[in-house]
Chain A
Amino acid sequence: MSLIVALLALIVFCLMGIPIPYALGLTAFAHLLAMDEPRLFSMITQRFFVGADSFTLLAIPLFVFAGSLMSASGITESLTRLARAMVGHVRGGLAYATIVLGVMLGAILGSANASSAILATQMYRAMKEEGYDEVFTNLLISSVAILGPIIPPSLVFVVYGATVGVSIAKLFLAGIGPGLVLGVFFALYVWWKGRRLKWPTRKRASLRDFGEALLKAIPAFTVPVLILGGILGGVMTPTESAGGAVAITVFLGFFVYRRLKLKDLVDACRNAALVTGSVMLLTVTGTSLGWTLALDQAPNTIAGFMMNLTENKYVFLLAVNVILLIIGTVMEPVSGIIVFVPVLLPLVSHFGIDPVHFGVIASINLVIGMLSPPVMEVVYVASMVTGTPFHKLVNPAWAWTFVAFAALLLVTYVPALSLYVLRFMD
């Protein structure tokens, strides 16, 4: 009974529009009241503190900080130039260049909203000038931006790893394949659209231009190399690699691209501190709710309920995909991971699903939710930058959501796409 009260309280608080960190905390208090355990109230604040006291979660502000510095340091501009030189000449070239740039940004940023804002700034005007439809351009940018939290580094994977106790290094590695699969699916959709819409072609970049663009972009690639290489080589923890990413971005910005100013550094610090305050409050209130749910044996109860519904692993995975996708449409990925993943974990082990693979599936699901109506957070960010009326983008977003969901099904039912690469790690 107390579990039902908690679930209803969470749904009502969220749908009322209460800020999600508060909604999680209020639900934790309501849950204790429903369990007739108000004497444990002070334990909730104790859990807030325990939730914040984590070396692993330090990766969040550091990756946000590094991401905030990327544009100001000239890294994103050099990557844009390279992406255009690589594929700008084919039909729909700028659309493909946006996908290539999205993959590259995914390798240095961990956030969809940051990718969306950068892609919109770098690609929108050029695509509009070449005659691409504004709705298509906005949705392409938004779709590609969701690669940010899938291709490592990824804030969502950091939170999943910290919540579940799974190696973040393995999650980072396992995210590469699915991120590329999504990129290929988006490229196939662009190709299909391009055949119908007769987009213009551009002159192929000369070998010299391509060489110059590549040379300019090479220093930028040291960021993902340092992050992944440092973690996989056992030289650094994910948190330290995030610190390394900050150091190398500052170095590139000041001494290689010579674009970074002290003011940019302060602005990036401010942005990272504010974003971290918001994300961490969510994390700690989610931790307290997770604690009351565990106290009430919620994971076991829900696992028992689900097992009565199906004993088939594949049906379970399909159900999880649908449920998490729906959750993702109204709740941002970090909240979704914190609230729902601990509840689903007993089932994951019951069905023999690798927790790393499940982490990838759950994260992609929730991230696709950012693209889907009604909330469409990542589309909203793009529309704010491009100035396109948001309402124009709502219905056409379904097609892109469908493409992403198709890629997700492939990732779900072909675990090797995520896990094969882990063999090299072991």
Chain B
Amino acid sequence: MDRAFLRAYGKLLDFLDKAVVVMGVIAMAGMSGVVVAAIVWRYFFNSPLIWTEEMARFLLIFICFVGAIPMIKRGGFGQVESLIAKLSPRKRRAMDVVINCMNVIFTGVSSGLSIYLVFISDAVTQQITPALQIPMKAVYTFMPFGFVVMFLRETQLLILKMIPQAQRGDGGGSA
């Protein structure tokens, strides 16, 4: 595979990771603010806000699917390592490729299915959310976005593991 392409691909994913972290920080701050505002308005101003719960839930959905993206590169998902740690370095490398293949399959299938669910099937209707009055489809879109970027990252990691260091130059990005 072309070195320049791999490098650009890695850089694009790193940029997406950084952008996602910034969005995550904003979403997290917004979610905390919204929950606190709900309490303050209800008890101090005696005037409950009707949109806060919905907004907080949607921000959580955003963080769930989009916040998971940078954790792939950081190795932040829990995994049982006790058995594979006992393998010889050669077998460990082979097992890492198998694991990465499975990761690509999961994120790829989930990407395809969530795109189908949100954009092709009729399952997600033109429903408008009750409080914020935004299309439900917009909220659902966080899911395919998250899975597609996760799929791209897992694919990059698989390519890096399959191509020897010497052939890929600088590592095709910083993963």
Contact = CB atoms under 8 A, between A and B. Distances in A.
Given A13-B102, A266-B25, A284-B64, A20 B81 contact: no
B36 A243 contact: yes
B158 interface: no
Contact of A16 (B27, B98, B105): B98
A155 interface: no
Nearest to A24: B106
Contacts of A239: 35, 56
A278 B76 contact: yes
B155 to A, nearest CB: 14
Given A21-B77, A54-B57, A242 B35 contact: yes
Most chain A beta-carbon neighbours within 10 Å: one of B68, B78, B83, B107: B78
B39 interface: yes
Contacts, number: 187
B165 interface: no
A402 interface: no
B91 to A, nearest CB: 12
A143 B24 CA distance: 32
Interface stretch (A38-46, A132-140, A417-425): A38-46
A236 B40 CA distance: 11
B24 A274 contact: yes
A277 B67 contact: yes
Interface stretch (A56-64, A167-175, A177-185, A204-212): A56-64
Interface string A275-298: 111101111100000000000000
A98 B107 CA distance: 43
B28 A330 contact: no
B64 A46 contact: no
A18 B103 CA distance: 7
B42 to A, nearest CB: 9
Given A15-B80, A281-B68, A57 B102 contact: no
B51 interface: no
B143 A274 contact: no
A277 B103 contact: no
A26 B116 CA distance: 18
A399 B74 CA distance: 33
A23 B77 CA distance: 11
Given A16-B84, A42-B116, A280 B63 contact: yes
Given A61-B60, A278-B77, A18 B99 contact: yes
Contact of A276 (B56, B67, B81, B83): B67
B16 interface: no
Contacts of A26: 102, 105-106
B113 interface: yes
B49 interface: no
A19 B77 contact: yes
Contacts of B76: 274-275, 277-278
B24 A22 contact: no
A194 to B, nearest CB: 33
B78 A272 contact: no
Nearest to B111: A45
Contacts of A264: none
B160 interface: no
Interface residues of A, number: 61
Interface residues of B, number: 55
Given A17-B83, A243-B32, A269-B28, A276 B102 contact: no
Interface string A338-368: 0000000000000000000000000000000
Contacts of B63: 61, 273, 276-277, 280
Interface in A235-285: 235-236, 239-240, 242-244, 246-247, 265-266, 269-270, 272-278, 280-284
B43 interface: yes
A389 to B, nearest CB: 15
Nearest to B113: A45
Interface string A153-197: 000000000000000000000000000000000000000000000
B28 A58 contact: no
B117 interface: yes
Contacts of A332: 78
Query: Which 6 pairs show the lowest CB-CB distances between chains A and B?
Result: A277-B67, A243-B35, A273-B24, A19-B77, A280-B64, A277-B68
30 contacts: A13-B102, A15-B83, A16-B83, A16-B102, A17-B83, A18-B79, A19-B77, A19-B103, A20-B79, A25-B106, A44-B110, A45-B110, A49-B61, A52-B64, A52-B65, A55-B56, A58-B35, A244-B36, A246-B32, A246-B36, A247-B36, A266-B25, A270-B28, A274-B74, A276-B64, A277-B63, A277-B65, A278-B76, A278-B78, A375-B82
Given A57-B60, A274-B71, 15 more contacts: A17-B95, A18-B102, A20-B78, A42-B117, A44-B113, A45-B117, A54-B57, A54-B60, A58-B60, A235-B43, A236-B39, A240-B35, A240-B39, A278-B68, A283-B64
Interface of A: 13-23, 25-26, 29, 41-42, 44-46, 48-49, 52-55, 57-58, 61-62, 65, 235-236, 239-240, 242-244, 246-247, 265-266, 269-270, 272-278, 280-284, 330-332, 335, 374-375
